[in-house]
Structures are given as structure tokens and as C-alpha cells.
Amino acid sequence: MIRIYSWMIHMHVSRVSRKGLTSIPVEVRRLLDIEEGDMLVWEVDKSTNTATVKVVKNPAKHLRGRYSDPNLVYERVEETADKRLLEELHAGNRA
């Protein structure tokens, strides 16, 4: 049996604008350590009308300062960042 304690669950509300935009409440950003450039991955279950949002840390931030090769082109950096993003997404699915 799985028990969920109330101190583990945090519920916050935000409103969606006419253009479909919303803000992430500051408490949520702090709890999940969401920073500028991080990605939010939305997993939607239409049968239950729910969405789970996963935070993926900014892949470009992970790469910053790691490569000193002056011939390194943007496409290579982007490819590496995309690979890291996919690795994190798949790691979350295994957990």
C-alpha cells in the first residue's frame, strides 16, 4: 500500500491568460528549483483530465564552460543538449 502524507503534497493555483500563458507560482519554482531556461515536460492523461509536469534542468546550462574547442559549432552543442534532455526524460520514465 502506498501512503501519501499531506506534507509531501503542495497544491498551488495559477490562472491561464487569454493567450494560453500562465505563471509558475514562486513557491512551486522554489520547491522544484525551477530556473530560467529549464524545460517543463507535460504528460497529459486525457482519460482523467490531468497533467503531470516534469522539470528538466536547462541542458545548455549543463554544457556551458565544458568545451573550450573554438571549432565547436552551434549544431554540435545543440545536438549534445538534445541528447542530454532525452536522457533525463527517459531516466524519469524508469523511476
pTM summary value:
0.57
Spell out the domain ranges in the chain. Answer: 6-94
In angstroms, the Cα distances linking 12 to 9, 15, 58 are: 10, 10, 23
- Predicted pLDDT of residue 47: 95
- Is residue 28 classed exposed, middle or buried when 0-12, 13-18 and 19+ CB atoms within 10 A define those classes? middle
> What's the grid cell of residue 8?
509531501
For 29, 40, 63, 68, the CA distances from 58, given in Å and listed in that order, are 14, 10, 9, 20
pLDDT digits (tens, 9 = 90+) for 8-67: 677 888 999 999 999 999 999 999 999 988 888 899 999 999 999 988 887 666 566 655
Pick 6-94's CATH classification: 3.30.70.1560, 3.40.309.10, 2.10.260.10, 3.40.50.2300.
Answer: 2.10.260.10
Mean pLDDT calculated for residue range 73-81: 74
What does the pLDDT read at residue 74? 67
